[in-house]
Amino acid sequence: MTRDQRIDQLIDISILVNEFTPEWPGDTPFSCQWTWEMARGEAVNVSCINSSPHVGTHADAPFHVDPRWPTSEALPLEAFSGPVTVVDVANHHGALVIESLGDLATRPVERLLLRTGRTVADGPFPEGWPWLDEATAQELVDRGLRLLGVDAPSVDARDSRTLAVHRILFKGGASILENLDLRAAPPGDYHLTAFPLRLGGLDAAPVRAVLRSLPSA
């Protein structure tokens, strides 16, 4: 093994959040004001932000879809760190069946990231994106899925009102990442680190998500 083969490559799969980052239509956009500014003679610059936790890359909490379920501070750290597989489904439209996932149709996976090609990192909020159908989501959970991540704004269809995929995943003990930026992450296996901020009582928490490429053999 050469020295270059031993070097891990880190891929930031988080969306840059600023005033231009698209929010879900009707949600609270990101904004920033300044409490103190050195330009006004203060000793330091101190900012103040206002935003929905769903703007940019984030982890949904079960409370997002059911007020009886846990809020953001209870998100399990173990789900957000470990082996992960990136699967490209950008050529698909509508609901994804298990066969849409390639060889994952026949083997278990702990963490799965779907590269739909409909990320808000490209600019505008997408009109739609592919999503797992309910039977596929349930099958993955039954096989031991601990986390599903997508580069789209939701693991459910844009026009979903029942959020069935959210509910299947949460009922099965799996976690959810949304609004990833997987443009620099080719399909394959990686190590994921994507810990949610320890914010209490919320329906979601911002995340800095990073993939580490696995060393070459």
Sign of CA dihedral 98, 162, 183, 123: positive
143 φ/ψ sector (left φ>0, alpha ψ -120 to 50, else beta) = alpha
Name residue 115's amino acid.
R
**Looking at 64, 92, 93, 191, which residue is catalytic?**
64
Residue partners of 50: CB distance under 8 A and separation at least 6: 28, 30, 31, 32, 33
Q: 16-37 burial, b for 16+ CB within 10 Å, e for fewer?
A: ebeeebbbbeeeeebeeeeeee
Distance CA 183, CA 118 (A): 10
64 counts as catalytic: yes
CA atoms of 83 and 110, how far apart (whole Å): 7
Q: In terms of DSSP H, where are the helices of 76-180?
A: 134-142, 164-171
Enter the tokens of residue 62. Answer: 């079960």
Residue 193, classed as helix, strand or coil, is strand
Q: What is the CA radius of gyration of the chain?
A: 18
Supply the residues annotated as catalytic. 64
